[in-house]
């Protein structure tokens, strides 16, 4: 390949590196391959895991350490898929090596860590982006268009839940405080981010929870007051599977998002008299995680600060909301004391 051809090839998309090889890394990489995006390297703490991952997804380079991955000159952007407490160090490592980062949610354990990543990315002129993939799905893109058009009138209420039945084993990741376990960071982040997407950051926060024997939050309920008095409510649980639906209620119409609302799904715009004004159904190949990756590539091309869907300042602020929820429910992670 000529030098000119190689330059053109690199301009057509970023070269992705996958940091860690757990379940979410498999889901993300599968969707990248479905979308035809370039995955050039994978890194794990165990070289055999990296090699197996690379073989499964036809990835050219496999590394037995995260340091080797971020040092690869062919890697442009790193997807960080480690457990929550590792996000801060992994993201800073990649940024120090000049790589853009897409960091799995929750972005970090708390707002202080999130701000460190934001500041380092700003210093380096790089993109740091939260992998809140729901915001980039086709149905959410359309919903924001409807809201911007004023179809719903004044938004009065937003509600959403994220409830799943997950293992009660104290050693399970979702129950282990040392890993940032609990319903809030893994599940509650979705409906809380959704409420902020629609209504902006809350001006008042009220939270209640039921804690597990291990001290992690098994159920969390929030009630927020937003600008103009609009209300949002969320419920999250790791102990039982609910409807997992969401709605946005305005004075002129409402949006009903079907289950599972935070994945590719359908919705209706419904008038107060029950007439259906619009129906939307998403037809998505794969899980749908590729849309956030495609957005990240566009933001890098346009400039690291161009993310208008979920900018880094908003990510830091949402982590601050989660910090306040945890303060009210009495959940503290080891090392925060």
Closest C-alpha to 25, from 47, 60, 56, 65: 56
pLDDT one-digit tens code per residue, 158-189 = 999 999 999 999 889 889 999 999 999 999 99
Q: What's the token pair of residue 159?
A: 């509600």
pLDDT for 337 equals 56
Peptide bond connecting 287 to the previous residue in cis, omega within 30 degrees of 0: no
Count of helices and strands (H, E) across the chain: 11, 14
pLDDT one-digit tens code per residue, 301-325 = 999 889 999 999 999 999 999 999 9
Contacts of 331 (CB under 8 A, 6+ apart): 177, 182, 184, 209, 211, 215, 216, 217
The three-class DSSP label of residue 322 is helix
With beta carbons less than 8 A apart as the criterion, state whether 264 and 248 touch: no
pLDDT one-digit tens code per residue, 120-158 = 999 999 999 999 999 999 999 999 999 999 999 999 999
User: Which segments of the chain have a pLDDT < 50?
Assistant: 1-12
Domain with CATH 3.30.360.10 in the chain: 138-283
- Measured CA to CA in angstroms, residue 80 lies from 18, 88, 317 at distances of 7, 10, 20
pLDDT for 10 equals 40
pLDDT for 13 equals 85
Superfamily of domain 3-134: NAD(P)-binding Rossmann-like Domain (3.40.50.720)
With beta carbons less than 8 A apart as the criterion, state whether 313 and 128 touch: no
- The class that CATH gives domain 138-283 is alpha beta
Residues pairing with 158 in the sheet: 232, 248
Closest C-alpha to 56, from 35, 32, 84, 78: 32
Closest C-alpha to 107, from 328, 325, 329, 321: 321
Cα–Cα distance, 244 to 263 (Å, whole number): 10
Domain with CATH 3.40.50.720 in the chain: 3-134
The pairing of strands 231-237 and 266-270 is: unpaired
Residues pairing with 160 in the sheet: 234, 246
pLDDT for 2 equals 34
In the chain, the DSSP E strands lie at 15-19, 38-43, 61-63, 77-80, 100-104, 128-131, 155-163, 204-211, 217-225, 231-237, 246-250, 254-257, 266-270, 276-281
Cα–Cα distance, 250 to 256 (Å, whole number): 11
With beta carbons less than 8 A apart as the criterion, state whether 296 and 129 touch: yes
pLDDT for 58 equals 97
With beta carbons less than 8 A apart as the criterion, state whether 121 and 108 touch: no
Residues pairing with 221 in the sheet: 208, 235
């Amino acid at each position: 390949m000529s030098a000119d051809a190689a330059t053109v090839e690199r301009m057509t998309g970023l070269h992705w590196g996958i940091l860690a090889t757990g379940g979410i890394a498999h889901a993300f990489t599968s969707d990248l391959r479905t979308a035809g995006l370039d995955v050039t390297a994978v890194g794990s703490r165990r070289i055999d895991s990296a090699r197996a991952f690379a073989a499964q997804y036809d990835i050219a380079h496999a590394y037995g350490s995260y340091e080797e991955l971020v040092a690869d000159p062919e890697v442009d952007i790193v997807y960080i898929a480690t457990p929550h407490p590792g996000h801060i160090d992994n993201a800073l490592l990649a940024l120090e090596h000049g790589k853009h980062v897409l960091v799995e949610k929750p972005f970090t354990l708390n707002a202080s860590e999130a701000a460190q990543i934001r500041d380092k990315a700003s210093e380096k002129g790089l993109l740091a982006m939260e992998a809140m993939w729901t915001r980039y799905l086709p149905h959410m893109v359309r919903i924001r268009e409807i809201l911007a058009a004023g179809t719903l009138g004044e938004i009065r209420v937003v509600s959403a839940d994220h409830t799943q039945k997950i293992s009660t084993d104290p050693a399970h990741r979702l129950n282990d405080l040392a890993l940032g376990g609990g319903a809030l960071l893994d599940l509650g982040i979705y409906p809380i981010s959704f409420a902020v997407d629609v209504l902006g950051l809350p001006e008042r926060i009220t939270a209640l929870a039921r804690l597990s024997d291990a001290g992690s939050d098994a159920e969390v309920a929030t009630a927020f007051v937003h600008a103009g008095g609009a209300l949002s409510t969320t419920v999250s649980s790791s102990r039982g599977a609910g409807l997992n639906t969401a709605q946005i209620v305005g004075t002129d119409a409402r949006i009903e998002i079907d289950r599972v609302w935070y994945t590719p799904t359908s919705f209706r715009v419904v008038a107060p008299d029950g007439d259906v004004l619009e129906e939307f159904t998403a037809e998505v190949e794969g899980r749908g995680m590729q849309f956030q990756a495609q957005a990240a590539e566009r933001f890098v091309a346009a400039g690291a600060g161009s993310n208008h869907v979920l900018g880094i300042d908003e990510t830091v602020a949402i982590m601050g909301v989660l910090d306040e929820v945890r303060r009210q429910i009495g959940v503290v992670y080891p090392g925060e004391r």
